[in-house]
Amino acid sequence: MVIRLAAGALCAVMLAACGTEAATPPTGPAPPEASAEHSKAALQVTIKGGAVTPVNERLSATAGEPITLTVDSDAADELHVHAVPERTFDVAVGPEQHFEFTVEVPGRVEVELHHLHRTVAVIDVRP
């Protein structure tokens, strides 16, 4: 009987401790999933008066990670992403045009403007 009471008391203490742990908020940095939105590779591109900014910008990304280009342009053009698979985006006249893509095959990826013959960025894609 004493053993049963002791075992019952021990179970009650263990359950109470588990409940207390579960109610304690986690500390430390946010898990990677919570900060994934901030880890995307992104680049702001401006086309104005026949000039492009930036030119030959270096970016890093991970295969499968979204890459976003935001373009402000005063002229129509085409963005070519030389990756596997290759992508082409029509750039219109206007601000804040967003183009998002992923690269599945690691390596060096060039992003160029077709009509202006400028390399906007070179992206090093890691596995």
Question: What residues contact 15, with CB distance under 8 A and at least 6 apart?
Answer: none
- CB–CB of 72/95 below 8 Å? yes
Q: How far is 15 from 18, CA to CA, in rounded Å?
A: 5
Q: How far is 39 from 32, CA to CA, in rounded Å?
A: 9
pTM: 0.67
Domain ranges of the chain: 33-126
Residue 91: predicted pLDDT: 98
Query: Tokens for 96?
Result: 């804040």
Angle subtended at Cα 17 by Cα 23 and Cα 8, rounded to the nearest 5 degrees? 140
Residue 84: predicted pLDDT: 84
- pLDDT digits (tens), the chain, 127 positions: 544 444 444 444 443 444 433 333 333 333 333 333 444 799 999 999 999 999 999 999 999 999 999 999 999 999 999 998 899 999 999 999 999 999 999 999 999 999 999 999 999 999 9
Residue 1: predicted pLDDT: 52
The one-character DSSP state at 104 is -
Residue 40: predicted pLDDT: 78
The CATH homologous superfamily to which domain 33-126 belongs is Cupredoxins -  blue copper proteins (2.60.40.420)
